Structure 1
């Protein structure tokens, strides 16, 4: 297990901001869980329709009974809204921020999801075994990490052969205004490494993950990946 004090190799000012800034955690979590707020924010800041985000997350509910799912970084657990009580699933919400995990616990409790586990850990050094999960989900998280490529390699490591990844990431190059907002959020230590689409696809390929489907909506790239069965 990676302890809260054992992250020296991968933290950054952005990671620490998300880990310790209670106001930032609360504002982001409330905003992404409020569809009206998320729709307005997405349209104005990233030129995207965030209804796509919710629909993309909803597919997590299609996981087969008995599946092990890793949500990293989980934030406050917005993906949990796609699930229902009583499922035969192992669902692990993993985040560097104890503040976010507290919010995920509250979300799961309110939804009656008693099968959710919680792990405070660095996304670039996951405390899980090789091939431990059938599915990895990662929404709006890669762009907050100091080394997104390392995080993607960890997805590949903890996935079983044939396992899948679903998620989203902020990308540069969509339009003038989203790129200016990205610059602002980087200066404010809210976003860390943000690249054009080809940089993200390179992370996936370097990790040995096959791109099944990608779709860009404004400055948000949605992706579905698979680990080779061989």
Structure 2
């Protein structure tokens, strides 16, 4: 089973991941042990979202980033994740990040938390997210990167078919630049890099 199919139909691993991320104690402990990451950074990144912006959230997972924005659109390839996200909102769609079913220049913002490292082609995914952002729109997210003390854990996740090729923090900057995004800001915490960029 390829990586895309594993995340699309892998119910147990998707549900286990979402349960851990949604649980404040488990998410804090897991982030620290696995990635040497202070998950407070993720919570702050999510809190910084504009609550009135038309926002695309991909992959939305179980809805960790939803909040109170009625214009927050959750998209994921995994039916398991979308089913879990329905507890928080009904504005959901199953779709592929490489072929989003939205016109160019649709969204005020796009968020992608903890998902790029699970994709087979992160640069293509970022380019597609940038396509559906309106001019002046913001792309915000986090991803696990290589080039830290956690590369062994990343290789293990890749062997298990849970992670794609991943990249370094420098690669993330290159992917954002290649997608035509500017005003790029990267924030490192352990093996996680947070990023913000503007179209």
Whether the TM-score (by the shorter chain) exceeds 0.5 is yes
Deviation at residue 174 of structure 1 after TM alignment: 1.5
1:223 paired to 2:198: no
Partner residue, 2:9: 20
Distance 1:57 1:90 in 2: 15
Distance 1:211 1:144 in 2: 25
Moved more, 116-125 or 178-187: 116-125
Count of residues in Structure 1 that have an aligned counterpart in Structure 2? 199
1:56 paired to 2:45: yes
Distance 1:202 1:35 in 2: 33
Q: Structure 1 residues 211 and 190, CA, compared in 2 at 3 Å: closer, same or farther?
A: farther
1:206 paired to 2:178: yes
Cα-to-partner distance string for 1:67-112 (whole Å, 9 max, x where unaligned): 21000111111101xx22xx5x42210011111111111133xxxx
Deviation at residue 54 of structure 1 after TM alignment: 1.1
Deviation at residue 212 of structure 1 after TM alignment: 3.3
1:38 to 27, 36, 46: 27
Preserved contact between residue 204 and residue 211 of structure 1 (Cα < 8 Å): no
Instruction: Return the TM-score normalized by structure 2.
Output: 0.96
Preserved contact between residue 62 and residue 81 of structure 2 (Cα < 8 Å): yes
Cα-to-partner distance string for 1:10-66 (whole Å, 9 max, x where unaligned): xx7122111111110110000001111011111111111111111111112x33x3x
Deviation at residue 211 of structure 1 after TM alignment: 3.7
Cα-to-partner distance string for 1:112-139 (whole Å, 9 max, x where unaligned): xxxx511111101111000010000000
1:77 to 58, 63, 79: 63
Partner residue, 1:192: 164
* RMSD after superposition: 1.3
Instruction: Return the TM-score normalized by structure 1.
Output: 0.83
Structure 2, unmatched stretches of 5+, are none
2:155 to 170, 176, 183: 183
Cα-to-partner distance string for 1:195-221 (whole Å, 9 max, x where unaligned): 111111111010001143210000000
Distance 2:185 2:174 in 1: 14
Partner residue, 1:4: none
Preserved contact between residue 70 and residue 135 of structure 1 (Cα < 8 Å): yes
Q: After the TM superposition, which segments of 4 or more aligned residues of structure 1 sit over 2 Å from their partners?
A: none
SS of 1:150's partner is helix
Structure 1, unmatched stretches of 5+, are 1-11, 109-115
Alignment of 1:16-165 (within 5 A): 16-60=5-49, 62-63=50-51, 65=52, 67-80=53-66, 83-84=67-68, 87=69, 89-108=70-89, 116-165=90-139
